[in-house]
Chain A
Amino acid sequence: MAAIDLHDLTKAWGNFTAVKRQSLAIRDGEFMVLLGPSGCGKTTTMRMIAGLEEPTSGDILIGGQRVNDLAPRERDIAMVFQSYGLYPHMTVADNIGYPMKLRGMGRAEREAAVRAAADKVELGAFLHRKPRELSGGQRQRVALARAIIRRPRAFLMDEPLSNLDAKLRVSTRAEIKHLQHELGVTTVYVTHDQIEAMTLAHRVAVMQGGEIRQLGTPEDIYDQPADLFVAGFIGSPAMNLLAGEIQDGRFTAPGGIAVAVRVAHRGAAVLGIRPEDLRVLPPGQGDVAAAIYTVELTGEATLVTADVGGARLSARADRGFRAGIGSAIGLALDTSRLSIFDPGTTLRIKDAP
Chain B
Amino acid sequence: MAEETGQTPVPFRGGGFQPGARRWAPWAAFAAIIAGWQLASSTGLLPPLIMPSPYEVVLALGHLAASGDLTEHVGASLSRIAWGWSIGTLAGLGVGFAMGIWSLARSAGIPVVAALFPIPKIALLPLLILWLGIDEAPKIATIALGVFFPTVIGTYSAVDNVPRSLIRMAQSFNLPNPAIVWKVILPGAMPGILAAFRITSSIALILLVAAEMIGAEFGIGSFILAAGNLMQTDQLVAGVVLLSILGLTISFVLGRVEAWLLNWR
Q: Do A and B come from one complex?
A: no
